[in-house]
Structure 1
């Protein structure tokens, strides 16, 4: 089986890649990871050791990572808050929701005293990241499927007391496509989708041509070099992708602009994910095992 494939290099920071690695390999199988493993993994992704150590220190200072002792070796794991975020993220990334015309909507309505203006800014930022569109001052809207995740996120941020959620139908007459374009920044979302497509448009075709269409056979017949290539490809792809299911809350396609690339981007991501995620994980776990045996 050939093992050569061009690996895209989207502009991603150490910290973004480290968070992806912990989300993938630090919760199951790998557990807490020593810095040496992170250095090996990031080296495969083209980053040097000093940059990795600096990024780990920053993530620890921010409360994203906690240090633990295991077998006399200093290791790092996701903090409880970060673990909750990653688990919540999986719900959006790996179980995408797409609304249908006539489906229900959730309204998030908040009122924050002028003396707590910083909380108002936090709420706007969080609701935007959760995929809500802004209808008016203090009134935000999204397909109803994102409600529970939004409630959990705001509660974890200490913002839930400022927000009331209402779920129901939207009964106004008129062009919903025009209204959605007013409530959401579709241009910014479209730019993110285009960026993903610029790097990974050919991902599924390239990997299907390389390993076939059966992930189990691909893994069974893979070489160490192929598994390393899959790791180098998959981790940045997932890191770039994971922003999109938040910014796109699953708006019905009928309400989006003609030629919207979201469905094609999803097809490419999930098809490639199915093929190469097991290969990438096998390489990552081999680095963990190597470190434990040293």
Structure 2
């Protein structure tokens, strides 16, 4: 069976964050740039793209640099650690199937000036990523209790938005409302595509040194799917909803790859302890380092 490489829709930064969450988060270590280049090459990502991603993430405050001799190592910042911890919760604790919904909805209404087209676009994009769907043009809804205070503060729109908790009336057709407010066919297609792509690996194994990269791609693609899922209550979704099968496939393949991936990480990764006195804003160019 051939090596699985990254899908075109999977950005190198998403892959990098997944790699760091898997190998660096919670360990107080930095990883050598050459190790990252090697692992990413096995996932089909070129050296220049990997180096550029590292440089951009440093400039955005998502990575810190630490030089050891002629080698440059990269570690997490507080910002990236928070992002990765959220992703870890989403994969391993929240899950893809919402069986425990208590009937609560979060309603968010907004009214912005007509000239604020960019702000309206940014708000709608953020709401979509936070699990909201449009009930009406200026009224959005999400299952459960969703805290949007940080989102609104970031956009500077708190004064233009009202947030409520609500329950549906007894005669409300929740299933119909869900179909009108969210693109269920698109979400189901993503789950189906994930299952078809990864199910063969439930019985196959990659070459030993490719296992780390393969598991990295698996996790990054899975997170990309479930982050677009508002976790709608399964009781009100179509009976053949594919999220559960996709999650079973993810967990089965991950479990199968993990022993090999751990062995590969010991062979392929050069890690050093974080030095508290290292200059996080070093001007040294990571692209100039020896791989």
What TM-score do you get using the length of structure 1 for normalisation? 0.78
User: Residue 143 in 1 paired to residue 139 in 2?
Assistant: no
State yes or no: 1:197 paired with 2:195: yes
- Alpha-carbon distance between aligned partners in 2 of 1:135 and 1:288, rounded to the nearest angstrom: 48
> Where does residue 124 of structure 1 map in the other structure?
124
Tell me the alpha carbon deviations over residues 94-141 of structure 1, each in whole angstroms, 9 at most, x when there is no partner: 212514566211222333344443222111101111221110122221
SS in 1 for 2:55: helix
127 and 291 in structure 1: CA distance in 2 versus 1, 3 angstrom threshold: same
The residue correspondences of 1:103-114 to structure 2 (distance < 5 A) are 103-114=103-114
Aligned equivalent of 2:261, options 269, 272, 280: 280
Where does residue 221 of structure 1 map in the other structure? none
Correspondence 1:56 to 2:54? yes
**Kept after mapping to 2: 8 A contact 1:231/1:281:** yes
Alpha-carbon separation, structure 2, partners of 1:20 and 1:188: 24
Q: Which runs of 4+ in 1 moved over 6 A?
A: none
Q: Are the equivalent residues in 2 in contact too, given 1:131–1:247 (CA < 8 A)?
A: yes
- The answer to which structure has the higher helix fraction is 1
**1:113 and 1:31 mapped to 2: Cα distance?**
48
Cα 1:28–1:81 shift into 2, 3 Å: closer
1:2-81 correspondence runs (5 A): 6-11=2-7, 12-29=10-27, 31-61=29-59, 63=60, 65-72=62-69, 73-81=71-79
Displacement of 1:265: 0.5
Which structure has the higher relative contact order (CA within 8 Å, separation 6+)? 2
Query: Hey, what's the Cα distance between the residues in 1 that align with 2:239 and 2:36?
Result: 43
CA contact (8 A) 1:107 1:166 kept: yes
Check conservation: 1:36, 1:291, Cα contact below 8 A. Answer: no
CA 1:122/1:229 → structure 2, altered by over 3 Å: closer, same or farther?
Answer: same
CA RMSD of aligned residues (A): 3.0
Partner of 2:244: 263
Give the Cα–Cα distance (whole angstroms) in 1 for the partners of residues 110 and 76 of structure 2: 31
1:32 deviation in Å?
A: 2.6
Unaligned ranges ≥5, structure 2: 274-290
Which string of whole-angstrom CA distances, capped at 9 and with x for unpartnered residues, describes residues 12-40 of structure 1? 34333222111221223373323212111
- Counterpart CA distance in 1 for 2:3 and 2:79 is 32
3-state SS of the aligned residue for 2:227? helix
Q: Report the CA distance between 1:193 and its aligned residue.
A: 1.2
Change over 3 Å in CA distance of 1:23–1:113 after alignment to 2: farther
Does structure 2 conserve the Cα–Cα contact (< 8 Å) formed by 1:143 and 1:251?
Answer: yes
Distance 1:276 1:160 in 2: 45
1:157 positional shift: 5.5
Give the gaps of 5 or more residues in structure 1.
211-223
Matched, 1:247 2:228: yes
Q: How does 1:211-226 map to 2 (within 5 A)?
A: 226=208
The alignment's TM-score, normalised by the length of structure 2, stands at: 0.78
Cα separation, 1, equivalents of 2:72 and 2:155: 29
